[in-house]
Amino acid sequence: MKPKIRLYVQHPLGEGQPVELDRDQAHYLFGVMRLTAGAEVALFNGVDGEWRATVETAGKKAGILVCAEQTAPLRVPPDLWLLFAPIKKARTDFIVEKAAEMGARRIMPVQTEFTNSERIRQDRLQAHAVEAAEQCGGTFVPEVTDLQRLDRLLADWAPARRLMFCDEARVGQAVTLAEAAPGPWAILIGPEGGFSDAERDRLHTLDYTFSVSLGPRILRADTAAVAALTLWQNALGDWT
């Protein structure tokens, strides 16, 4: 039977490998979930796949698990980044969680002209990505980068990576990724205020930009992120 609890650890995993738990993990497994010695847990570290591990020692603030066997190989999502302008806290958390579930390889908050928040808690957002991977059976955790300015990011862009620019000015036009070629991609979602004219003009001049509509309605940024990830995964990703 598959262990019910999946835990992300920053520790190498392999046959017979002991894994020391930190305080929070020990509290969760032994304090909250009430596991005792001999119980089984699924572990992954984003690199070595998923392992079935057994509790060897269970304490209040510490504990040791020992890896038995690999139960799933590492599955790395397609080379897709999600660039999005952070919005209100709960909606930003939602975007990170959904992007991790939907199989983005990298999650990048970007500051655009109309972005309200000037700071994000990168560590908190990364923790959301870890939790999402634990819940959805993932063996990979996307990196959440710190907030970067969109103009600077575009100045250093490697043009081999195409940019799916979700442009609200295209609302109502046909939604299509049919002519898009596979390879490295990034999705770009704007803030509540949308993109400025200057940003839109610049984005349209870039050779690697592929501007798309997300249908006949203006979506909120968090909905737009999920919709764009769905379209991309269906057309070019690992859903087929």
Q: What's the one-letter identity of residue 140?
A: F
| Least gap, CB of 214 to ligand SAH (angstroms) | 4
49 makes contact with ligand SAH (CB under 6 A): no
Q: Specify the 3-state DSSP secondary structure of 66.
A: strand
For residues 77 and 142, is the Cβ–Cβ distance under 8 A?
yes
Token pair 């908190």 is found at 124
For residues 63 and 124, is the Cβ–Cβ distance under 8 A?
no
148 makes contact with ligand SAH (CB under 6 A): no
Site string for ligand SAH, 191-230 (x = CB under 6 A): -xxxx-----------------xxx--xx-x--x------
- Alpha carbon distances (Å) from 145 to 12, 38, 83, 129: 23, 38, 10, 11
Q: What's the one-letter identity of residue 65?
A: L
Count of residues in contact with ligand SAH, rule CB under 6 A: 18
| Least gap, CB of 213 to ligand SAH (angstroms) | 4
| Least gap, CB of 200 to ligand SAH (angstroms) | 10
By CB under 6 A, name the binding residues for ligand SAH. Answer: 166-168, 170-171, 189-190, 192-195, 213-215, 218-219, 221, 224
